[in-house]
Structure formats: structure tokens, C-alpha cells
Amino acid sequence: MNVLGDRVLELGPKSDAEGPYKNFRLTRDGDGVAWLLFDREGTSANTLSADLIEELSNVLSELETARPTGLVIRSAKKSGFIAGADVNAFRGATDVTAVEAEIGRAHAVIDRLEALRVPSVAVIHGFCLGGGLEVALACQMRIAIEDARFGFPEVMLGLHPGLGGTVRFTRLVNPMQAMPLMLTGKTIDARRAKSLGLVDAVTQERHVLNAVKEAVSGRLNRAKPGFLNSVLSLGPIKGFLASRMRREAGKAAREEHYPAPYALIDLWERHGGDRRAMLSAEKASFARLMVTPTAQNLIRVFFLREQMKKLAGSGNRIEHVHVIGAGAMGGDIAAWCAGQDLRVTLADMKPEPIAGAIKRAADLYGKILRKRTAVRDALDRLMPDMQAEGVRNADLIIEAVPEKLELKQKVYADLEPKMKPGAILATNTSSIPLQDLRTTLQKPERLLGLHFFNPVSRLQLIEVVSHDGTDAQLLREALAFVGAIDRLPLPVKSSPGFLVNRALTPYMLEAMLMLDEKIDKTVIDAAAKKFGMPMGPIELADQVGLDICLDVGDMLRSKFGDALPPTPAWLREKVARGELGRKSGKGFYTWKGDKADTSSGLPATSEPSAEMIDRLILPISNVCVACLREGIVDDADAVDGAVIFGTGYAPFRGGPLNYARTRGVENVVSTLRALTEKFGGRFAPDAGWENFK
């Protein structure tokens, strides 16, 4: 028996010594089959690094000499097969030649694995991603455990597969199915992988040994490339399909912002079907992408996410969440928490909002949960609570009623006497300082903010807001709760708008001033998209809700005055008419479900100017510097991560502060001064720029 975490493999007799390797365990069973177990030293997941690849080369030398009757490769880690490359190795790369030489050495080792003259089988559980999938593809056969997940996430780092994956994947799997998976970074489960021909068999852990015997003996019914694969590699057909792929890629991202998908399409169009040429071209293309600002900034974003995960800590004690207010935000917060295995009670004064929230929850679970039983269980955990009885037993109460100070305080007066000792009272306010909210509380120390962002299921950030009297232990518990529901916490001190809304409000209000200047809304949104934003400020205002934009704008202007653009009178009129954006079906745009009709407006020949882009974007960086100076957030990297994960700020820019560094602080400050002279004091550079590095 060889115990791998909670996985047990019947390996048969094995040698007395595991061998001289740090990251591998090499044994041989009674049938002469070698079992090579990936077990990277000191980590909970296997990743590929230069030292591991070098050691794999030594292992292959031993196997080439020993000539076992077969080779089985699998992971000794509970988490999965191989999670991809060690991203640390990619940071700061600037020399294309050096990167290409390094990737070339790794290529040679993977090619040797493929060339072994014995039957080779990858047995895969958990995540098999990126370079891990490329290792598996170099084996002759692949057996997946039912929980396996496969994918090429390199595009998320501004790259494409670089260890032969572009060649082996498109040879094995129909390119019209293989290419979209690499272009989007999506993962697929074991059954889908089997249907595509990526794996040869799907089995349960207890049947692995029999499946391996079938494979090594040649009795396994192996997946084989179809005739269509060869046809799709013909020149004229490739050209047509590549053009279609570029059009689809263009809908998601501009080539100048995200070059990797386009480089992958070029690679396949020029060399698909020619193994040797494509392997060589893949190395060169990968190296060129690695040193681009896009790749380096996306790698930065990867580490920002990891850094923010650590802020959550561990030891979540929250089991029962009570949400007050079943509107768009409250209902979606409740649904997300129930989907993360927590018991949730959802209260509102009327049954209709609760019914709507549960319907939205069912739709969400249908998209994100793979099993019907999981959908059923999540809905069972989300309990309507018209009488608000859940308050009495809840570990955490989240208030998500409209942004009215008096209303929130009235809610607190009713629920505070019912709360059990040690329970946390959290508000989802987007702008009201906690110092104002706490004034009527008997125990203000247990009030804190948990500010979710819309849409809750897509935006990863939660601002965890404290005031000067917040209980430190409850704050730690709130941070751990955020991590437990698979979200990224940002600790912020209570201040009007906190960080993200304070940064985002001038962006959206400036766009509305441009509307007053008779600039078409589609051109304003195009200016933001040209910079790299996923959606423009006008569409974003509709998405957030014009009533919320108005409330937040009023709150912030009452605190910061002329530092913000004025709120147009016509915005109040739209809100009064019930034109609230996506949630009412009409705002600046007409909405059909989650989609805005952006077809109206000026012809596409109307191009946004550089000045328009600066008017929208630079105030975000300016506010972020102000928040650092004021101590609302104490870490510049956390500021960048928060604005990316809370608003979708162009990830390839690396965050608003990183963008300022890249552009040059002197340039940013001088541009802000020029905008101040032309448009007024709202563009005045913050004093924090003097000490910003």
C-alpha cells in the first residue's frame, strides 16, 4: 500500500529505497511497471520549475537505462496532478533569448518523456493544468479519476502553452475544440475530456490498478485523432478558421492589450500540422510573450490575488449567516453564501423580493454547480425568513437595506437585542461611514462593514471595513469568513466611499459630465474600453444601479465637495422616473436580461480622444494615492488588487498605481495639472504624489 494523502494506490511490491530524488518517488511493482510519483518538496501542489524539470531529466535517464515494462506517472499530492508552472519563475523576465533557451531545455525533457520506448500512462486526479497537462499529453495514454479537471490557463497570464501543448493538443483533439480551450483558459471535467479524446478512460480511484494493467498490456481502447483533425490542418481551411477565431478573440479583448490569443492563432495557422516547425515556433512565440508588459502585469495580478488570499487568515467560525434585505445585493449575497456551504436565512419585509432572490439563486447554481444534488443542497441551505427569526442563531448578520442612514439605524435597533453573544453585525453599505452608523448601537464594537460588489458572483473583492472601536477579534473572524466563501478581503478603515467606490465615483460622474457636453454615450464607453476597461462607465453605472450611483455621489460630494464632478440634475430625474439601469430594464441603455443594447449611438468612425481617456482614468489613480496618504489602506499592492478585483480595472495594466508608475508619476501629475487648468479643481493632483514611488 502506498498512501497518497487520502488516496491509496495498490502498487504491488516496491524497492526498499525510494531513490535519490527530492521531488519524485520512483518504484517498480511486481509486474516490472515503474510508478513515478510527482511530489514536489515543501508544497501542497505540484508545479513545474527549472529544478524539477532538471530532476525529471535525471529520472528519465534512469528509466531509459532500466527499461521497465511500463511507466505510470501520477501525483502524490492530494490537491491534484500538476497545477502548472511555478509562476515565480516568470516574474521580471526581460530577455527573450534567455527565456527561449530556458523553455528549450524544458522542451527537450518533455520530448524525452514522449520518446520513451515503453507504454506510458498518466493517471490524473484533481487539477491538471497548463504545464501539467503538457506533461500528461507527452504520455502515450491518460486515465482520469472522476474528479479530474483539465485546462490551459496560460492565457490568463498573457501567455499560451509553451511545453509542446499547442502541438500535442491540436493533434490529439479536434482543433476547433482544442483551440477555444487554450484561447479562453476554461477548464473541463473528466467526462468532457473523454468525449474530446483528451483522455482514454475515466475511472474511480479503487479501479486505478486494473485500468493501468489494461493500458500497459495494450488492451485499453485508446482515443485516436479523427480524420477531421487532418482536414482542419489544410492551409485554406486553417486560414478561414483562424480568421473566425480572431473575430471571436476581438470580441473579448484587443490585440494590443492581450496579444497571447492572437499569437496562438497565428502559431496554429502558420504551423498547425507541421509538428517540428510548430514546436520550434511555439518556443519563440512563448518567449516573446513572456517579456511583454501584458504578461508581466498579469503575472503581477496573479501574485496580488495570492497576497490578498493570505489576508483572510484561517479558522472561519461562521456557520449561519442572516441577511436582511432581499434586493439585488442582499439576495445575491445570501445566494453566494449558501452556495459556499453556509446555512443562510434571508429576511425582507415583503415575500416578493425573497422569491426573486431564490429564483436568481437557482439560476446561479445551475451555472456554477455541476451536480443536480449540489444545486438542491444549496437551495436547501438558503431559507426564506419573513419573521427574521434567523437573527437569534446567526453567527453573522449582514444588513443590505437601501443606503439611508435612518433606515439602517432603525433595522439595528430592532435586531441588536436579538443577536446572540459573539455575533457579528455587518453592513453592506457602499458609502456611509461606520462612525455614523454606530451611534445608536448598544455594542458598536461588533459593527463592521462587509462591502460586496455587483455582480456578487463575478467580482471577487469584499472590503472589510473597520472603525476605531471595532473589536479586533471580530475583525479577524470577518476576514476569515471572506476567505471561506472564496472571496478576497481588503481591510479598509471607515471613510466615505471606503476605497473602491471613492475611486470609481469620479470615473462615472466624469462620464456623465461628458454626456452634458453632448458626447455620445457609446463614444464615452469606447474611450474606457480603448484603455482596457471591460465595460465603459455609462454601462457600468447602469450595471451598478443609477439610484446607488446617485446615493454614493451625494454622500461623497457632501464629504469631498468640489473634488468630485457635480451630479447632473437629469440623473435625479431618471432615478425619480424609475430608470435605474439593469435592474429596472432601462437606464442609459435598454437592458435585456444581463445584456445592454449598445447598438445605438454615433457611427463607429467617432473615435475617443486621449484627453477623454485621461479624464476618465487618471482620477482613479489620483484617489488611490489619496487613500494611501490618508491611511485608509496601508499597502499600494493591495490598492491595485482591490481596484482590479472589485471593479474589473484593466488587469493587463497591473492596477491604477502600477499604471501611474509605468506611465511615469511626473507625466501623470503634469497631465492632472493640465486638466485642472482646463476643467477645474476636481483634477487637482493629490499631495500624496510627492512621496509616491
CA angle 298, 302, 307 (to 5 degrees): 140
CA angle 473, 475, 481 (to 5 degrees): 105
User: Is 214 annotated in the active site?
Assistant: no
Q: Looking at the DSSP assignment, which residues form a beta bridge with residue 72?
A: 35, 121
Grid cell in block for residue 304: 496580488
Query: Using CA of residue 420, residue 426, residue 427, residue 433, what is the dihedral sign?
Result: positive
Residue written as grid cell 434571508:
346
Grid cell in block for residue 307: 497576497
User: Is 134 annotated in the active site?
Assistant: yes
Q: Looking at the DSSP assignment, which residues form a beta bridge with residue 491?
A: 464
Residue written as grid cell 482613479:
620
**Residues 602, 641: contact at Cβ < 8 Å?**
no
Other Cβ atoms within 10 Å of 45 Cβ, number: 18
Grid cell in block for residue 510: 466624469
Distance CA 409, CA 397 (A): 14
Distance CA 408, CA 403 (A): 8
Alpha helices in 272-371 (DSSP H): 275-290, 293-311, 328-339, 351-368
Distance CA 512, CA 537 (A): 9
Active-site position among 55, 102, 134, 403 = 134
Active-site position among 55, 100, 102, 154 = 154
Coil, strand, or helix at residue 606? coil
Comparing C-alpha atoms, which of 186, 159, 180, 336 is closest to residue 248? 180
Residues 252-257: contacts with CB within 8 Å, 24+ apart? 254/530, 254/532, 257/294, 257/532, 257/650, 257/652
Question: Position 38: which residue type?
Answer: F
Comparing C-alpha atoms, which of 602, 604, 556 is closest to residue 403? 556
Alpha helices in 160-207 (DSSP H): 165-172, 175-184, 190-196
Q: Helix, strand, coil proportions of the chain in percent (round to 5)?
A: 55, 15, 30
Catalytic residues: 134, 154
